[in-house]
A and B are shown apart, each in its own frame.
Chain A
Amino acid sequence: MIERLIQPVSTFAGDIDQLFFGIHMVVGFWFFLVQGMFFYLLFRYRYREGVPTTYVTGKEKHLKKWINIPHILIILCDVGVIFFAVQTWYNVKQNLPEADATIRIVSQQWAWSFVHPGEDGELGTDDDIKTVDELHVQEGMTYHFQLESRDVLHSFSVPVFRLKQDAVPGRVITGWFEPMHTGVYDIQCAEMCGIGHGIMGARIHIESAEDHAAWIASKKGT
């Protein structure tokens, strides 16, 4: 469902979209079933002249099963939802695959600064490339990011990646992503960070290997 509204551009975006779809199918089934029952009962037992109400306590076995069976089925559905939710979570947030490159993301009121490894592919060396509000990555590469904040809470959110991570001052939070397609997409701050929160955006440029190498070369010596 989500992919119709916004393109999936990271390797795990499809998993999250599927989880979203799957959960909506399960809860949608229950929702329409129960609403259907609800409106049926409202129609069936509407007030009619001369038709008396019945005395039912809820302890009758033949009626209780209408509650108890769905109750058990809901527990089963919950187990399924939990299983797939945890699996997706584990792959996105807990189990970080080996990185091809690492970038640093520093948030502050109200801008993003990005530190990219230069030609040597290593972060923390002299040829690091620093940019503001524009992140350059190469498609098909696995990135680790080290997320920091200089002042208040921010949140690094790339909707096309289905990725979001809060930045907390005093901590360095590591995460990962692997872009799949080239293109330019939005980065938003997703945690209220003050007056400029509404303009704290940046752009992520996903480039092919050649374009990315050319970009790195163009930044040499800056």
Chain B
Amino acid sequence: MSEPASTHHAHGHGAHDDHHHEENFFLKYFWSTDHKVIGMQYLLTGMFMALFGGFFPYVFRMQLAFPGISVPFYGVVSPTEYNALVTNHGTVMIFWVAMPVLIAAFGNYLIPLMIGADDMVFPRLNRLSYQVFAVSVVVIIASFLVPQGGFGGAWTAYPPLSANPDYNLTPWGSTLWLVAVALEFIAFLIGGINFITTAMNSRAPGMRWSDVPMVVWMICIASILFMASVGPLMAGAVMLAFDQNLGTHFFDPKAGGDPILWQHLFWFFGHPEVYVVLLPATGIVAEVITTFSRKKLFGYKTILYTAIGTGVLSFFVWAHHQFIAGIDPRMANVFTVTTVLISIPIAEMMFLFIATLYGGSIRFKTPMLWALSFIALFMIGGVTGIPLGASGSDIYLHDSYYVIAHFHYTFFPIAIIGSFTALTYWFPKMFGRMMNETLGQVHFWITAIAVNGIFIPLFVLGAAGQHRRIYNYNHFAQLSTPDLQALRILATVSLVILLLAQFLFLFNFFYSMFFGEKASKNPWKGCTLEWTTESPPGHGNWPADQLPTVYRGPYEYGVEGRDEDYWPQNVPN
């Protein structure tokens, strides 16, 4: 199980050690195999892509609220551009923001630190993962700049629209989009192998499976889900690329292909993907609520089982995206059962998080506010999934704004709130300085309130029959009423407020990085191992002779008979 510190240090670095003292800038930042540097690069790349992912909805929501206006900082939005904007908002936010920040950035940064290792077990593979990811970033950005513009066939890329340039009119954009997504998958496959292997083999001496912090577990489970689900989609992506460029007909019904096949391949990946990003976010929330309520996690193993249960079930629900897609209607009954049942482990996990608060001593610092808002808002996303998973009501709600509101109430807490929870919590460790608490709280409250102003109106619009991906509702008599338009404007205004508030965060982030108050090793008095080393940790995380040994679980807060209310994992007694 756990190796002695000296041997795992040796295999962690090996050949790399002999030159790390003479690194120049290029080697340090472009060729570094230090997991912290790579994690930071993923983080900053993800934040950079979030600028795109955040700017797109500003443009298309302005168009929806005020059809035909020249959007400030953009211009008039054509239908082609509108389609490309909604398509790439989804694609970028999931594959280039949520995945790199939640899994790659925090997975890379936290796993070795939290299990007491000096680096990943495959540091060079880790570097390769980021390099491939960086190429995918270049390709997806390039896809907006080619003739005829970016791909606009929705992030699900259903053929025949996506397969044939005669239909989608973006011969370059659609191919580059597909290549970018495929490269991104390769990057995360490589990264996932590394996370799982590291967590299995490099845990500090004494660290049993039940001593592993929840966020490490969750990132590993998410990586396994990703590896198990992405294969079919990779095959599908290759087939689709062939259809686009080599004249094959895998998805072309005119030549005997089947467009529905793509939907199965896509959603067989696409639904587990939701849990691939959800689980790391719940892991982050688990770390933060335990620290700030000074409580042991309520039912550590049960939470783990609910995560594994959700992961397994998530492979059996994909066709709920296809109830009305032309599959055999009898299939819908099977997938309704599996889909509705997935509410059980997820509800249980939320109950356990809430139960963790019982008997605690809760401090409402910025990271805690984010973690709590994750629970409060994710629940809205959770319960509104039920009418969509229930086949009967999905007939009406499918592809309506109700769906958009539902999954944004899951993805916003996951990708945005989850990331802010982690960033504000681990910022002192990453940069050695504290973020400004007042600015952090102001940013939190504006964001957490504004998000409801965006998506509650969308629930109503969806229930009123408004469909997705339509650039101007004036073409539909029943949808161009003043009441519905007022809701659209409300959503857009809320979005603009939310986006403006993010500048507070960016200011706080970069200002605090250089001028914040100096952070101690353990500013939040946490029990897990990353708080036992310097802030920020040096190369190798701990001095080679001081790698930690683990004596207990990660959440020993409030143990009776001790002076302090926390008992770090590495303290012998």
Residues of A within 8 A of B438 (CB): none
Chain A: CB-nearest residue to B359: A54
Q: Are A152 and B329 in touch, CB under 8 angstroms?
A: no
Minimum distance in angstroms from A189 CB to a CB of chain B: 8
Q: Are A23 and B332 in touch, CB under 8 angstroms?
A: no
Chain B: CB-nearest residue to A171: B326
Tally the A-B contacts, defined by beta carbons under 8 Å.
295
Q: Which of A93-119 contact B (CB under 8 A)?
A: 93-94, 109
Residues of B within 8 A of A34 (CB): 350-351, 354, 379
Q: Are B326 and A5 in touch, CB under 8 angstroms?
A: no
What per-residue 1/0 map shows which CB atoms of A17-51 lie under 8 Å from chain B? 00110011011101100110110011001111001
- A132 contacts chain B at the CB level, 8 A cutoff: no
Minimum distance in angstroms from B325 CB to a CB of chain A: 5
Q: How many angstroms from the CA of A35 to the CA of B350 in the assembled complex?
A: 11
Residues of A within 8 A of B260 (CB): 168
Q: How many angstroms from the CA of A193 to the CA of B164 in the assembled complex?
A: 12
Chain B: CB-nearest residue to A45: B360
Q: How many angstroms from the CA of A190 to the CA of B465 in the assembled complex?
A: 10
Residues of B within 8 A of A42 (CB): 357, 362, 372
Q: Are A195 and B383 in touch, CB under 8 angstroms?
A: no
Q: Are A58 and B333 in touch, CB under 8 angstroms?
A: no
Q: How many angstroms from the CA of A189 to the CA of B161 in the assembled complex?
A: 14
Contact A186 to B478, CB < 8 A, known contacts A15-B392, A23-B390, A45-B357 = yes
Residues of B within 8 A of A15 (CB): 392
- B347 contacts chain A at the CB level, 8 A cutoff: yes
Q: How many angstroms from the CA of A192 to the CA of B460 in the assembled complex?
A: 21
Q: How many angstroms from the CA of A71 to the CA of B345 in the assembled complex?
A: 9
Minimum distance in angstroms from B336 CB to a CB of chain A: 5
Q: Are A169 and B153 in touch, CB under 8 angstroms?
A: no
Minimum distance in angstroms from A84 CB to a CB of chain B: 7
Contact A2 to B476, CB < 8 A, known contacts A34-B350, A34-B354 = no
Q: Are A45 and B329 in touch, CB under 8 angstroms?
A: no
- B259 contacts chain A at the CB level, 8 A cutoff: yes
Residues of B within 8 A of A201 (CB): 475-476
Q: Are A186 and B167 in touch, CB under 8 angstroms?
A: no
Q: Are A53 and B360 in touch, CB under 8 angstroms?
A: yes
What per-residue 1/0 map shows which CB atoms of A159-174 lie under 8 Å from chain B? 1101111111111010
Q: Are B167 and A85 in touch, CB under 8 angstroms?
A: no
Residues of B within 8 A of A1 (CB): 463
Q: How many angstroms from the CA of A165 to the CA of B333 in the assembled complex?
A: 16
What per-residue 1/0 map shows which CB atoms of B69-84 lie under 8 Å from chain A? 0000000000110110
Q: Are A194 and B361 in touch, CB under 8 angstroms?
A: no
Residues of A within 8 A of B258 (CB): 170
Q: Are B348 and A173 in touch, CB under 8 angstroms?
A: no
- A88 contacts chain B at the CB level, 8 A cutoff: yes
Q: Which of A54-77 contact B (CB under 8 A)?
A: 54-59, 63-64, 66-67, 70-71, 74-75
Q: Which interface residue of A34, A41, A70, A195 has the most chain B CB atoms within 10 A?
A: A195
Minimum distance in angstroms from B543 CB to a CB of chain A: 33
Q: How many angstroms from the CA of A195 to the CA of B359 in the assembled complex?
A: 57
Residues of B within 8 A of A47 (CB): 361-364
Which of these, A67, A160, A203, contacts B351 with CB under 8 Å? A67
Residues of A within 8 A of B79 (CB): 195-199
Contact A89 to B359, CB < 8 A, known contacts A30-B383, A67-B299 = no
Contact A24 to B396, CB < 8 A, known contacts A1-B463, A152-B161, A199-B475 = no
Residues of B within 8 A of A197 (CB): 79, 83, 469-470
Residues of A within 8 A of B362 (CB): 42, 45-47
Q: Are B384 and A169 in touch, CB under 8 angstroms?
A: no
Q: Are A171 and B340 in touch, CB under 8 angstroms?
A: no
Residues of B within 8 A of A74 (CB): 343-344, 347
Minimum distance in angstroms from A181 CB to a CB of chain B: 14
Q: Are B295 and A192 in touch, CB under 8 angstroms?
A: no
Residues of B within 8 A of A203 (CB): 477
Which of these, A37, A64, A170, A193, contacts B253 with CB under 8 Å? A170
Q: Are A20 and B352 in touch, CB under 8 angstroms?
A: no
- A214 contacts chain B at the CB level, 8 A cutoff: no
Q: Are A71 and B467 in touch, CB under 8 angstroms?
A: no
- B557 contacts chain A at the CB level, 8 A cutoff: yes
Q: How many angstroms from the CA of A81 to the CA of B394 in the assembled complex?
A: 13
What per-residue 1/0 map shows which CB atoms of B347-379 lie under 8 Å from chain A? 110111011011111111000000010011001
Q: How many angstroms from the CA of A45 to the CA of B167 in the assembled complex?
A: 59
Contact A85 to B354, CB < 8 A, known contacts A2-B463, A46-B364 = no
- B54 contacts chain A at the CB level, 8 A cutoff: no
Q: Which 9 A-B pairs have the closest CB atoms?
A: A170-B253, A88-B392, A159-B465, A58-B299, A85-B390, A53-B558, A54-B359, A27-B383, A58-B298
Give chain B's interface residues, CB within 8 Å of chain A. Answer: 79-80, 82-83, 152-154, 156, 158-161, 164, 167-169, 253-254, 258-260, 293-300, 302, 323-326, 329-330, 332-333, 336-337, 340-341, 343-344, 347-348, 350-352, 354-355, 357-364, 372, 375-376, 379-380, 383-384, 386-387, 390-393, 395-400, 460, 463-465, 467-472, 475-479, 557-560, 565
